[in-house]
Amino acid sequence: MPSAIRLRPASAADLPFLLTLRRLTMTGHLQRVGAPTDDEAHHRRIFANFEDAMIVCEGASADANPIGLLKVTRAADEWHVHQIQIHPSRQGHGIGEAVLRDLLAEAAREHVPVSLSVLHGNPARRLYERLGFSVASETETSANLIWRGSAAMRDAACVKAPTDRR
């Protein structure tokens, strides 16, 4: 992950940022598939698995600028990415890809697959597939993807330094 990007646990103080982030990054995709986009629906999604939420920050200081969210549940047999969102002003700079590459390297070291779901039409699906995710199943509104690692990724994971999680 770029040195200026770090993860920290989410807290109640992040809730206004997370609501704004969710509105900016998800409303259009949700509307396209006919899913609710009111604040109550956004709050339900924000609070789901909140204990697994990490804020993506830009900057090394304790008050680094929040620019995104990574929410991953890590079970012994599979990790599931519930949400990854990067603020639109910071998209296209490789930040989301770096965050995911770091997660996948860690998963490779732990020998666990990683799953996620992506709404149909969301351009992030191209990134996921480029990183090695493949379709496990599809619904009317989304694709369920799985990453099982690769020999190259497992080899790279053996030499990759851990993420700064201060």
> Domains of the chain by range and CATH?
5-159 (3.40.630.30)
What residues pair up with 73 in beta bridges, in sequence order?
80
Write down the pLDDT at residue 150.
Answer: 65
pLDDT, tens digit (0-9, with 9 covering 90-100), for 91-137: 999 999 999 999 999 999 999 999 999 999 999 999 999 999 999 99
Q: What is the dihedral of CA 114, 62, 20, 125, to 10 degrees?
A: -20
Quote the pLDDT of residue 116.
98
The whole-angstrom separation of Cα 158 and Cα 15 is: 36
Query: Nearest to residue 14, comparing CAs of 88, 71, 82, 91?
Result: 71
Q: What is the pLDDT of residue 60?
A: 76
What pLDDT is attached to residue 152? Answer: 45
CB-CB contact of 95 with 68 (8 Å):
yes
Q: How many Å apart are CA 82 and CA 48, to the nearest integer?
A: 9
